[in-house]
Amino acid sequence: MENINSPIGIFDSGLGGLSILNEISKRLPNEDIIYLADSVNAPYGEKPREDIIRISKKNADYLAQKSCKLIVVACNTATTNAIQFLRSNYNIPFIGIEPAMKPAILNSKNSKVGVLATKGTLSSELFAQTSKKFKTNTEIIEVIGKGIVEAIETNTTDLNEFNELLKKQLIPFKEKGIDTLVLGCTHYPLIMKNIIKHMDKTVHIIDSGYAVAKQTEKILFEKKICSNKTGKGDVIIITNDTSLEALNTVLAKLKLDNAKIISN
């Protein structure tokens, strides 16, 4: 770590974490940010835990070499499987992301909460512990997202085939009559309009972006490593994907027009 004006590092299995970057950039506009989009290894959700830890270490190594003062693991699967390893092996603050079970359970009026997430997240010990801690009498309906990350990464979320696939995956939530839906993958907020189209309008949908940005700000203040820059911070996106079509689509959707893209 060089100084307080060193960048915030963020990594995810591709483009999903850009939803987190967007929230952090809005809350902390004067901070420099480096985002590592590991699209080559996307999705993480179906990989064994050992592979997720290995890939997360590689990403953390890269961002540490860029002198990042704090690293956000903008992936639910990587957080639930690798965050303890990362915090034990680096002298850098790490912020992880978990499905927002606590606010969903506490605010559900009919005690029926849906969770749409990857297999890697739903089967993790950390998710099980969090859900059990706040569950009380709440019925939790879990659905493994199939093909969603891949569609976002290949820029095919507008196709009828994808929307039919998504619609079928959301049926269990409608059948159970949930009033709250947790998006347990950072890719999923990028298709919020698609999800809303197939859900009852009364269902409250929660993702982790705002909470993560707020926690990032809190840690920067606690560690006294907030940037003292007065101008707008630089946003650099480093991708290992050979095609930038999907990336440019997401950046346009989020209005992150100040980002500089580097193909690695």
Does CATH place domain 101-206 in 3.40.50.1860?
yes
Residue 226 among the catalytic residues:
no
What is the domain partition of the chain in residue ranges?
8-97+209-263, 101-206
Using only the alpha carbons of the chain, give its radius of gyration: 18
H or E segment and range at residue 37: strand 33-37
Residue 68 among the catalytic residues:
no
Is there a common fold for 8-97+209-263 and 101-206? yes
Q: What is the pLDDT of residue 2?
A: 55
Q: Which of 185, 191, 213, 250 is catalytic?
A: 185
User: For the segment 75-116, what is each residue's pLDDT rounded down to a tens digit?
Assistant: 988 998 999 999 999 999 999 998 888 889 988 999 999 999
Q: Which of 28, 73, 75, 152 is catalytic?
A: 75
Provide CATH code, domain 8-97+209-263: 3.40.50.1860
User: For the segment 202-258, what is each residue's pLDDT rounded down to a tens digit?
Assistant: 999 999 899 999 999 999 999 999 999 999 999 999 999 888 999 999 999 999 988
Alpha helices for 98-208 (secondary structure H): 101-107, 119-122, 125-135, 148-153, 160-176, 192-198
User: For the segment 238-254, what is each residue's pLDDT rounded down to a tens digit?
Assistant: 999 888 999 999 999 99
Residue 36: pLDDT over 90: yes
